[in-house]
Amino acid sequence: MQYTNKYSSPIGRITMASNGERLTGLWFDGQKYFGSTLSSDHEEKHLSVFEDTKCWLDCYFSGEIPAFTPPLLLSDTPFRLAVWEILKGIPYGQTITYGKIADMLAKQKGLKSMSAQAVGGAVGHNPISIIIPCHRVVGVNGSLTGYAGGMDKKIKLLTLEKTDLKNLFIP
């Protein structure tokens, strides 16, 4: 069984999903790929993992760096899981390009190169927004491209983290 719960953030309502023990999804309501890990059979419920996630989000939206991460459960292709693992390591307030992530993955796998576009697809399908910080990924030359939650939210999240936006290009 899967469960959901809601959170009202300063930049929009968020839906959380869980298998009962771990967080399996976190989306801005109405975003692209909303509910991608949810089956049609789920119910609204109060769970300790949702309380932990709400505490994490309260801390984050107050401008602080949360000192913990709620328990997460990700399942997808090995490629997407590898991309999401790299996303988890992007420091608060900093950005990385899709190309840099592709280079990191290629190096891990002993390959000469890897597609930044493929990385972009994996980043876009990240089911646990904010906690797995896909909003910190930018295009070549610092262009702010591609955020399933919407560019306005990406800019607000980066601004909240006091990311230096002066070197980023907003299309």
Crossing angle for the helix pair 116-124 and 98-109, to the nearest 10 degrees: 110
Crossing angle for the helix pair 78-88 and 98-109, to the nearest 10 degrees: 120
Tell me which of 134, 137, 157, 160 is the catalytic residue. 134
Number of Cβ atoms within 10 Å of the Cβ of 31: 18
| CB 28, CB 8: distance < 8 Å | no
Residue 134 annotated among the catalytic residues of the structure? yes
Q: What is the chain's percent helix, strand, coil content, to nearest 5?
A: 40, 20, 45
- Residues taking part in catalysis: 134
